[in-house]
Structure 1
C-alpha cells in the first residue's frame, strides 16, 4: 500500500503538479489554416489562422465517481473513465490511477480499473458495479515500481474500444510522462479479464509521438489511429496510422500516413508526418461517427477540450475549425471547469446528441480537505457538422 508519506520518502514529486489540467484562457485561436492542395504539413501550418467556432454549450449530467459515489468499490478517487459499450450492453469506464484512501495518493493504488454502468440509456449512466466484484482490481499486472527521483511506474489507459464482441485497450507503462513502453490488450468477456497482445518498446520513435494512441473503427475493416507524445508539457506531433482490424495486435501492420514531396505528396506508407500543428496535447479520442470522424482532445496550453470533425480519416486537421467543448476556469459552471482534462466521446453519441467524459483534479491543501479527483458526464449542444 502506497501512502503519501511513502511517496515523499521516495523523493516523488506531487502528481498533482504534473497531471492536473491548467487553468487558463477561456478560448484560444485554433492552430490551423486554409487547405492548400498538395501542401506539405509545414505549408498547411503557416497559412492563415482559422479561429475556433463558437456556439457550443455544455451541461453536466452527473458526476460518475467520487467519495459519495464510488467509495463502495474502493474507487473514491479516480480519473479518465474512457467509456466503451460492451457486448452485453453495459457501459464500461476504464479509469486511470485510482486510490482507495481518504485522499488522492492514499490507500490501495490500482491502475487501470474498470467501473461499470448497467444503463443502456446514454443520459442515465451511473456506476453500479465494477470489474473485481466488491472492489476494483487492476485489470493488468502493474507493480507500481518505485523509481528514485520521479514517480513510480503505472499503466495509464489511452483508449478502449470494441470490435465485434472483443474489447481492446491501449496502455502507457512507466512513470507518469516517462513511458518506457506501451502495450495492447484484449478482452472477450466484457472487460472482466484481459489478455496481452503486443507492445511497442521504441517509445522514442517519431520523437515520442507514437506513445498515446486512440482508435477510430471504420466500417471498411480498418482502424485509423491518431497518436501523440505522452507529455502535455512538450509540443508533440499528431500522427496518423491505419491497421486492419484482424491485425490490431501486430505492430508491423500499422501503416503510417505522411507527406513526401518527391513521391506523390501525402500517401499511406510514407514516413509519418504530423497531421496537425504540434502543440501540448493532452488526452485524445478519435471515433467514426455519423458518416464522418470526430476528434476530441485536451489542449493543455489553452486549457480546453475541443472537437474537430473531418469527412475522412486523412482529413485536413490543419484547416478544420476547432469547436470548444469545455474551458478551464477558476470556477465550475456550464462550459467552465476547474483543472479539467480528458474529453472522451461516449459511445452512442451523435453530432446532434454529443456526450463526453471529462476529468478534474482540484487540490484543497489549505482547507485540509480531500482533493476533487473524479470523472463526470457532459452533454454538448450546438455542435456544427456543416464543415467539410
Structure 2
C-alpha cells in the first residue's frame, strides 16, 4: 500500500477523517482530480461525528506518487454532503457509483438506499461548476435491467459513446454492458445493451452478461487507458480486487484472466495488512493519470466486527502491462512475442507495500485476532 487517503494529518483540514469508496475523475485544468466518497464521518470511523454521503474533495498526486487532498469539492473550507437530504433511522443514504467528466460537465451516478442492500432507485446528477453544486438529471427505477443496473461505472470511448458496466447492489450477480451517446445520458430508455449472436456482439434492447464466470461482482471502475479498456472490480466470489484489460469493450470478458491487486487472504485482521492479506476489502478505483504499466487504485477496507478500521487506501501496481502482454512500444497492440511468457503470470504484478496500516492500528488488530478466529467473515455490500 502507498498509504491511507484519509485520516489525521491527511484530511482533517477538510473536516472529515473516515470514508469509503472514492471514485475519481479529472476536474478543471492541470493535474487536479475529484475524489467522491460514500458513507463518510467527521470522526475516525463509522458512527463518529456527522454522517455524510456522498462527499468530495479535490486532490493531486505529489511527486512521490501519493494522493494529497487540496480542498473540498463543494464550496467552503470543509466537506459537506454534495446532495442535500437527511439520513434517517432506517438508514437512508445516497451511495456514489461513479463520476464522469463530459466536456467539462460532471455527471454522478448514485444509488438511494434505505436499509442494507435495499435500493430504492438510482439517480444521475450533474455539475457545471466542477462539483461545487449538483442538479438532478434523471431517476432510474430499481428494477432497471432486472435490478442489474444498480451499481455502475462508466467511461467515454474513442468512438464518442459512453460505455457503462453494471450489476446489482448485493455482490451476487454478473456484469452487464450498456452504451449511449453523451446527449442521451438523461434518457435511460434509449440506452443500448450488449448481447451476443453466437460469438458476435450485438447492441440493442436485449442484454446478457459480458462477464460472469467465477464472478459475483461488487464495486467496479471502468477506464480507457493507453488505448485499452481497463476494468477494476471487487469480486466477492474470490474476495479480491481484480483488473482485466482489453483493446475491445464489446466482447466476452470471461475470456480474460484477471490480475489480482489485493486479496482478502487468510491471515485476518490480526496479521499484517498487505496486498496478500487485506482483510474485508472492497472498492477498487483507478486514480487519474495512471498508466497500464504504473497504476494507482484506491481500495476500501472495513472491519465490520468492531469498526476499528474504516478507510480508503491507495495502492500502486506495476506489471499489468507484462501480465496482459501489452508492449510499451505500441500500447494499442497486443504482443505475442517475447512478452508472451509473462501472460497471466501473477508473479510479474508488483504492489507497493510501503506505509499502510499504522502501528497503533496494527496493535489493536492483533488483540482482535483471537476473537476473530471464531467469527464468520462478513463483507458488507458497499456501505451500511
TM-score in terms of structure 2 length: 0.77
- For residues 27-50 of structure 1, give each alpha carbon's deviation from its aligned partner in whole angstroms, at most 9, with x where no partner exists: xxxxxxxxxxxxxxxxxxxxxxxx
What is the match of residue 211 of structure 2? 276
**Aligned partners of 1:386 and 1:320: how far apart in 2?**
12
1:79 match: secondary structure: strand
Q: 1:315 aligns with which of 240, 251, 266?
A: 251
Q: 1:107 aligns with which of 43, 49, 64?
A: 49
Q: Is the contact made by 1:297 and 1:343 (CA closer than 8 Å) also made in structure 2?
A: yes
**Aligned partners of 1:171 and 1:103: how far apart in 2?**
22
- For residues 177-211 of structure 1, give each alpha carbon's deviation from its aligned partner in whole angstroms, at most 9, with x where no partner exists: 2111001111121111112111102x124331111
Structure 2's unaligned 5+ residue stretches are 327-333, 335-384
Q: Root-mean-square deviation (CA), in Å?
A: 2.1
Q: Is the contact made by 1:114 and 1:130 (CA closer than 8 Å) also made in structure 2?
A: yes
The answer to whether structure 1 residue 194 and structure 2 residue 134 are counterparts is: yes
The answer to whether structure 1 residue 85 and structure 2 residue 26 are counterparts is: yes
Q: 2:80 aligns with which of 137, 144, 159?
A: 137
**Aligned partners of 1:82 and 1:345: how far apart in 2?**
8
Shift of 1:252: 2.1
Q: 2:162 aligns with which of 223, 232, 243?
A: 223
Moved more, 113-122 or 191-200: 113-122
2:251 match: secondary structure: coil
2:238 match: secondary structure: coil
What is the match of residue 49 of structure 1? none
**Aligned partners of 2:63 and 2:138: how far apart in 1?**
34
1:96 match: secondary structure: strand
Q: 2:236 aligns with which of 300, 303, 309?
A: 300
Q: 1:76 aligns with which of 6, 14, 17?
A: 17
The answer to whether structure 1 residue 338 and structure 2 residue 338 are counterparts is: no
The answer to whether structure 1 residue 123 and structure 2 residue 59 are counterparts is: no
CA gap of 1:164–1:120, structure 2 versus 1, over 3 A, is farther
Shift of 1:170: 0.5
**Aligned partners of 1:328 and 1:102: how far apart in 2?**
23
Shift of 1:82: 1.0
What is the match of residue 176 of structure 2? 239
Shift of 1:294: 0.5
Structure 1's unaligned 5+ residue stretches are 1-59
2:129 match: secondary structure: coil
The answer to whether structure 1 residue 162 and structure 2 residue 104 are counterparts is: no
1:318 match: secondary structure: helix
Q: Aligned residues, how many?
A: 316
Shift of 1:247: 1.9
What is the match of residue 97 of structure 1? 39
